[in-house]
Structure 1
Amino acid sequence: MRTVTGLFDDYADASAAVSDLEAAGVRSSDISIVSNNADRRHGDSNAAEGAGTGAGIGAVVGGAGGLLTGLGLMAIPGVGPVVAAGWLAATAAGAAAGAVAGGAAGGIIGALTESGVPERDAHFYAEGVRRGGTLVTAKVDEAIAPEADAILKRSSWVDPAERRSAYEQQGWTRFDDTLDPYDAKQVVI
C-alpha cells in the first residue's frame, strides 16, 4: 500500500477528487478528507458516530455519497475546527488524545507520518489545513498509485513545492500545534 495525498484550496475540488478516487475503485474506507472549518462554512452539527469517535464529532448535512456522507466536526490541535472523515481523521483524533505536551508529534502530523507521508510533507499538509485548505489522503495499492496521484493533480490540487516556498517566504518552517488556530478572518480561500 502507498499513501497519496493532495491539498486543495477549494473544498469542492477536494470533494470531486474523493468522488473520482471512489469511481476509480479506491474504497471509501481507504480515503480520508480533512477540511478547515474555522469559518463554519460546513455548519454546526449534531453528534454522530464515525471518524474520530469520542472527539466531539457531528454529522454534516450534505447530499454526497460514499466517504463524504460520513463527514463530522472535530478539533485538531493547532489546526482548530475541521470537518473530517475516514481513517486519517480517526488516527489524528486518537493521536491528539494521546499526545503529551512537548512530546511526540500528535494529531494530524502523527497520523500522516504513521501512514507513510514524509514528516516534512506532513508538516506542510497540516499547515495547509490550518490556513484554510482541505486535505485528501488515500491508501492505495502500488498498481493504482500513479492513477490516484493523477486524479488528485487534475482536481485543482495545490502544488506542494510552490505553496511550501510561499509559506517559507513568510518565515514558516514547520507546523506548530502550539500556535493558535487560524480564525475565520485569517482563513483566506
Structure 2
Amino acid sequence: MSRVTITGLFDNPQDAADARRDIEAFGISHNDIGLLAHGSEYAARDTTSDSSDAASGAGTGAGIGTVLGGGAGLLTGLGIMAIPGVGPIVAAGWLAATLAGAAAGAVAGGATGGLIGAMTDSGVDENSAHVYAEGVRRGGTLLTVQVEEDQAARVEEIFLENGAVDAAARGEAYRTSGWTRYDPAAPAYTPEEIARERDLYGRGDTRI
C-alpha cells in the first residue's frame, strides 16, 4: 500500500497541538509528523538551551510551546531558520530535514523555492502550498503527516475536527485583499499583525 501526505494549516496553535495529539493517539508515529510554525517569539529567546525547554518557555503569540507541548523532544529535527518573507520559523519532524534540504538547494533570491518546494515535493499541490506558506507567514501552524492510504481519511477527519483551514477558501480570502501568491520579498508580519490575523479568522473560518 502506498503512502500519502496529509497537510493542514491551523490559525490557532492550540488547534494544531490538539490535532497532533489526536494523530499520535490514532497510532501515527511522531516520526511521520512534520511541523512548521511561525517562530518570532521563539527566536527572540536563548535557543542555546535545550529545545524542548526553550519551546515550552516561548512567549505568547507564536504559540510554539503550545504546539510542541511535552512532546517537543519526540519531534525529531527541531530547528529554527529564517525564511525570506516570513522571518523566523520553527520546523520539526521529517519536514525540518526536507525544508533544510530544499532551502539549501534554492538559489540566492529564490528562497521561495525552498519553502514552496519542500511542500510540493511532499505532495502538496502548488496552489495550496502558496496558501500554506502565506498562512505560516501570517502566524499559522502547518502540520503535515505521512500515512498509509487507509489511514488518510481518519487523519483528514482529525484535521477537520480540530479546525484546519480550507486552503481554497483561505486563498480566496487572501485574494480579496490583493494577495496573489506567497512572496519572499514581502515584509515579515509583526507580532501585532499576526495577532490581528488570528482575530480576523479565529475559529469561525471555513474548515476542511
Counterpart of 2:175 in structure 1 is 168
Is 1:130–1:181's contact at 8 Å kept on the other side of the alignment?
yes
* Residue 159 of structure 1: how far off its partner (Å): 2.2
Partner SS state of residue 60, structure 1: helix
Match of 1:148 among 138, 142, 155: 155
* Residue 68 of structure 1: how far off its partner (Å): 5.9
Q: 2 CA distance for matches of 1:28 and 1:48?
A: 22
Is 1:44–1:60's contact at 8 Å kept on the other side of the alignment?
no
* Residue 91 of structure 1: how far off its partner (Å): 1.4
Larger helix fraction of residues: 2
Match of 1:28 among 27, 30, 35: 30
Counterpart of 2:55 in structure 1 is 60
Counterpart of 1:44 in structure 2 is 45
* Residue 152 of structure 1: how far off its partner (Å): 0.7
Percent of residue pairs bearing the same amino acid type? 50
Q: 2 CA distance for matches of 1:136 and 1:76?
A: 18
Does 85-94 or 10-19 show the bigger shift? 85-94
Q: 1:67 to 1:109 in 2, by over 3 A?
A: farther
Match of 1:128 among 124, 132, 135: 135
Q: 2 CA distance for matches of 1:95 and 1:66?
A: 23
Is 2:111–2:184's contact at 8 Å kept on the other side of the alignment?
no
Partner SS state of residue 148, structure 1: helix
Match of 2:17 among 15, 18, 23: 15
What's the Cα RMSD here? 2.5
Q: 1:21 to 1:121 in 2, by over 3 A?
A: same
Counterpart of 1:55 in structure 2 is none
Is 2:9–2:141's contact at 8 Å kept on the other side of the alignment?
yes
Aligned pairs, number: 181
Q: 1:48 to 1:74 in 2, by over 3 A?
A: farther
Q: Could you tell me the TM-score, scaled by structure 1's length?
A: 0.84
Q: Could you tell me the TM-score, scaled by structure 2's length?
A: 0.77
* Residue 49 of structure 1: how far off its partner (Å): 8.9
* Residue 90 of structure 1: how far off its partner (Å): 2.0
Q: Which blocks of at least 5 consecutive residues in structure 2 are unaligned?
A: 57-64, 199-208
Match of 1:98 among 105, 111, 115: 105
Is 1:48–1:59's contact at 8 Å kept on the other side of the alignment?
yes
Is 1:60–1:72's contact at 8 Å kept on the other side of the alignment?
no
- Alignment deviations for residues 111-162 of structure 1 (CA, whole Å, 9 cap, x no partner): 1000111111111100000011111111111010000111111101122222
Q: 2 CA distance for matches of 1:153 and 1:74?
A: 29
Q: Which blocks of at least 5 consecutive residues in structure 1 are unaligned?
A: 51-57
Letter of the structure 1 residue corresponding to residue 13 of structure 2: Y
Q: 1 CA distance for matches of 2:72 and 2:104?
A: 27
Is 2:32–2:147's contact at 8 Å kept on the other side of the alignment?
yes
